[in-house]
Amino acid sequence: MSDRILEVADLSVTLERAGQPITPVTGVSLSVDRGEALGIAGESGCGKSLTLKSIIGLLPPGAIVDGDLRFALDKKEPIPYTSSDVQGHGIGLIFQEPMTALNPTMKVGDLIAEGPRIHQGLSKATGRERAIELMRQVGIPSPERRAKMWPHQLSGGLRQRVMIAMALSTEPKLLLCDEPTTALDVSIQDQILGLLQDIRERLDTAVIFVSHDLAVLGELCDRLAIMYAGQVVETGPVDDLFTNPRHPYTEALMNSVPSFGATTEKLVGIDGHPPDPSAFPLGCRFAPRCMYARADCREADYELTPIGAGRTTACIHPELTGGGG
């Protein structure tokens, strides 16, 4: 049996904007194994969340998805699937802002019990017991009392734990996390990351974690996929990619955030702005902002090329980045 839980190949998403089609996600390929944490990083609007929602089938009406998506159902090799195959069965989703994702007309215990009742046929009483146990597992104090509360009566950190309990309620093999710690303060953020790490290790659950925060991704993830303008431009193990980026956009991201403990470090912004999906440039989409760009970059076809163990880059001149070699 393969350890691979999810395979995404050549994924593209087309939406309609102002009556015109745009394709903000183009040719995305990635994979994740059982128990592994894959991070997806990039600037706002690069297609991270759309990629995540494509995997579970939660795109807006009218969206067109092309590509090959495969998921390992019932411990088999990854096979093609539909959203109904995995929603509530194999894949769970944790949203960025639980207050907008939690139904305000349902009490917390009922929200968590809804998945097992619908997908596993549990009775109301058994579902409630399952909800309270899950609340206890995700560290919600006094779960019996809080199960009777409304979402607005909980703090942001507790609401996020409720979201995690809901995602875990149907025992998924894969958790999709759409910037779930962005709205939380640092101490609560650390608790949520610790909880997700514990879930990975204890349940062998795979995680795909979307964020623009490289520090968060470095703490939780094993591998990273860097996205720019709707494409994956580099992949690799977290430590390798942090210390030896082989795409200019990855290098620019690393240079734009502070290192822990640094006191004299000079941060460098990225010139320009990401392109609009209705007007992606020809060739390398980062070339107009890239300090290393050459004439052939503006005509290069997009392709993720292997450059070593577990590493790929879409740059045709990876030797020019700070890692060199």
Q: pLDDT category, 258, cuts 50, 70, 90?
A: low
- What's the pLDDT score for residue 88? 74
Q: pLDDT category, 96, cuts 50, 70, 90?
A: confident
DSSP 152-212: GGS-HHHHHHHHHHHHHTT--SEEEEESTTTTS-HHHHHHHHHHHHHHHHHH--EEEEEES
> What's the pTM value of the predicted model, to 2 decimals?
0.90
Mean per-residue pLDDT for 1-23? Answer: 91
Cα–Cα separations (whole angstroms), residue 159 to 94, 103, 148, 287: 11, 11, 13, 42
Is pLDDT of 27 > 80?
A: yes
- What's the pLDDT score for residue 266? 65
For the chain, domain boundaries: 4-90+173-320, 101-171
Is pLDDT of 261 > 50?
A: no
- Report the C-alpha gap between 73 and 80 in whole angstroms: 10
Q: pLDDT category, 251, cuts 50, 70, 90?
A: very high
- Would you give the end-to-end CA distance of the chain in angstroms? 37
Place of tokens 């059982």: 34
Least-confidence region, from 47-51, 133-137, 262-266, 295-299: 262-266
CATH, domain range 4-90+173-320? 3.40.50.300
- What's the pLDDT score for residue 169? 87
Bigger pLDDT: 258 vs 199: 199
Q: pLDDT category, 160, cuts 50, 70, 90?
A: confident
Place of tokens 């809901």: 166
What is the bridge-based pairing of β-strands 4-17 and 174-178?
A: unpaired
- Report the DSSP beta bridge partners of residue 66: 12
User: What is the residue-averaged pLDDT of the chain?
Assistant: 89
Is pLDDT of 263 > 70?
A: no
- What's the pLDDT score for residue 259? 60
Q: Which of 26-40, 77-91, 103-117 is predicted most confidently?
A: 26-40
Judge contact between 23 and 51, C-beta under 8 A. no
Sheet holding 305-308, edge to edge: 91-94, 174-178, 206-211, 37-41, 223-228, 231-237, 311-313, 305-308
Least-confidence region, from 20-29, 33-42, 188-197: 188-197
- What's the pLDDT score for residue 234? 97
- What's the pLDDT score for residue 15? 95
Judge contact between 248 and 291, C-beta under 8 A. yes
> How many Cβ atoms are within 10 Å of 85's Cβ, its own excluded?
15
Bigger pLDDT: 110 vs 100: 110
- Report the DSSP beta bridge partners of residue 209: 39, 177
- Among residues 152, 102, 111, 104, the alpha carbon closest in space to that of 135 is found at 111
- What's the pLDDT score for residue 323? 54
- Which amino acid belongs to residue 270? I
